[in-house]
């Protein structure tokens, strides 16, 4: 179920502070923002920035593009690894 429009998107306050610092020029654009907030919604201010999203084991680097706006950060940091299907030994 989607979040109510009147409540607005869920974005961690720490992420917003760092984005404001980068946009003001006190931090460089190459600075990657580390976060565990997989539920945070991607806003238009995030376009062009790099986030390191934790997937439970390691941090995965995600470069934000315009097509990602409105999605969650966790959608781009896969948590499960596919090992492959079992080989059929009867053949």
Mean pLDDT of the chain: 90
Residue 91: band (very low, low, confident or very high) from pLDDT cuts 50, 70, 90: low
pLDDT for the residue numbered 25: 87
Asked whether the beta carbons of 14 and 25 are under 8 A apart, the reply is no
Domain ranges of the chain: 8-76
- pTM, entire model: 0.81
Range 8-76: architecture per CATH: 2-Layer Sandwich (3.30)
Question: What CA dihedral angle connects 71, 74, 77 and 83, to 10 degrees?
Answer: -110
Using DSSP's 3-state secondary structure scheme, residue 67 falls into helix
The model's pLDDT over 17-63, given as tens digits with 9 standing for 90+, comes to: 999 999 998 888 788 999 999 999 999 999 999 999 999 999 999 99
DSSP letter (8 states) at residue 15: H
Residue 19 sits at φ, ψ, to 5 deg, of -65, -40
pLDDT for the residue numbered 3: 72
What whole-number distance in Å separates Cα of residue 81 and Cα of residue 90? 26
Residue 51 sits at φ, ψ, to 5 deg, of -115, 145
């Amino acid at each position: 179920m989607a979040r109510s429009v009147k409540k607005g998107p869920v974005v961690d306050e720490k992420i917003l502070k760092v984005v404001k610092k980068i946009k003001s020029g006190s931090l460089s654009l190459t600075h990657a923002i580390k976060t565990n907030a997989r539920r945070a919604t991607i806003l238009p201010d995030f376009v062009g920035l790099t986030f390191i999203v934790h997937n439970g084991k390691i941090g995965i680097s995600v470069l934000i593009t315009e097509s990602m706006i409105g999605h969650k950060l966790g959608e781009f940091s896969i948590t499960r690894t596919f090992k492959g299907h079992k080989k059929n030994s009867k053949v």
